[in-house]
A = this chain, B = another copy of it.
Amino acid sequence: MTRIATLSESRDSCHNCRLRTLCLPDNLPKEDIGKLEGIVQRRKPVSRGGYLFQAGQRFNSIYAVRTGAVKTSTLMANGDEHISGFHLPGEVIGLDAIVSRDHPSSAIALETASICEIPYAELETLSERTPALQHRLMRIMSRELLAEQSTNHLLSRRSAEQRLAVVLLKFSERFADRGLSALRFRLPMSRLDLGNYLGLVPETMSRTFRRLEEQGLVSIAGKEIEIVDSGAMKALAFGAEGSQTART
């Protein structure tokens, strides 16, 4: 029986946390993990639709997702929401607020989520005397930068089918990194949210899902996704064919 993604449970300490290698503590010496644990605060779970923090709110902490899933979004000048990312367990949220002292975006739970809060002032103090932690922070920031770049890339002149294929493959990879199936998983967000992130309206999302299914690339049942032909998906997402520019 294939196990469907739930991304649940992890122990109370960073030492035992199943997400250790994805999260802040990765590669830290044992005693440094101990120190980090000293400042991490476990919050009571945030339920679906609840805020971890709101845009404009004073920046005090960064947050690591332990279970569940979170979206970050900004309200644009005209009142529309723009979703800037989806965050799975082990990922760190709020790093974009370090410059400005205020959170530029809101973080909202897509499903009940447990969260580790890490007060930034204390993290900064700790990292002053913990080189390994300092390096780890730089690496995480750099990783985020790469992720954002790859999103830019995705939004820049790619067809709806390609965008969807890319994002499904990325989720596949991220679930696999968390020890879950790469081929069968449950998307934590609505089509509306995913479309918002991809720059596509819900109608297009619906039609695009259908087309991928008709081509035998995926099998869709609500939010449950099965990647049927991973090779063809990759060809569509990254392949030479389908580029809108390639004028051979």
Residues of A participating in the B interface, judged by any CB pair closer than 8 Å = 74, 76-80, 82, 84, 95-100, 104-105, 124, 127-128, 131, 134-135, 137-139, 141-146, 148-149, 151-153, 155-157, 196-201, 238-243, 245-246
In the complex the two chains form, is A96's CB within 8 Å of B142's CB?
Answer: yes
Residues of B within 8 A of A149 (CB): 74, 84, 96, 104-105, 148
Residue of B with least CB distance to A200? B157
Residue of B with least CB distance to A120? B138
CA distance A79 to B246 in the complex (A): 8
Least CB distance, A107 to chain B, in whole angstroms: 13
Q: How many copies does the complex hold?
A: 2
In the complex the two chains form, is A135's CB within 8 Å of B146's CB?
Answer: no
Residues of B within 8 A of A127 (CB): 134
Residues of B within 8 A of A245 (CB): 78, 80, 201
Given A152-B84, A155-B152, residue A104 in contact with residue B141 (CB < 8 A): no
Residues of B within 8 A of A77 (CB): 238-240
CA distance A98 to B98 in the complex (A): 19
CA distance A135 to B199 in the complex (A): 34
Given A104-B149, A142-B99, A143-B99, residue A78 in contact with residue B246 (CB < 8 A): yes
Residues of B within 8 A of A138 (CB): 98, 124, 137-138, 141
Least CB distance, A71 to chain B, in whole angstroms: 13
CA distance A187 to B205 in the complex (A): 37
CA distance A78 to B97 in the complex (A): 36
Least CB distance, A28 to chain B, in whole angstroms: 15
CA distance A146 to B72 in the complex (A): 13
Least CB distance, A129 to chain B, in whole angstroms: 9
CA distance A82 to B153 in the complex (A): 7
Given A131-B128, A156-B82, A156-B155, residue A76 in contact with residue B243 (CB < 8 A): yes
* Interface pairs (29), CB distance under 8 Å: A76-B243, A77-B238, A77-B240, A78-B241, A78-B242, A78-B243, A80-B243, A80-B246, A95-B141, A95-B142, A96-B146, A98-B138, A98-B139, A98-B141, A99-B142, A99-B143, A104-B146, A104-B149, A105-B149, A124-B134, A124-B135, A141-B142, A141-B145, A144-B145, A148-B151, A148-B152, A152-B152, A156-B196, A156-B198
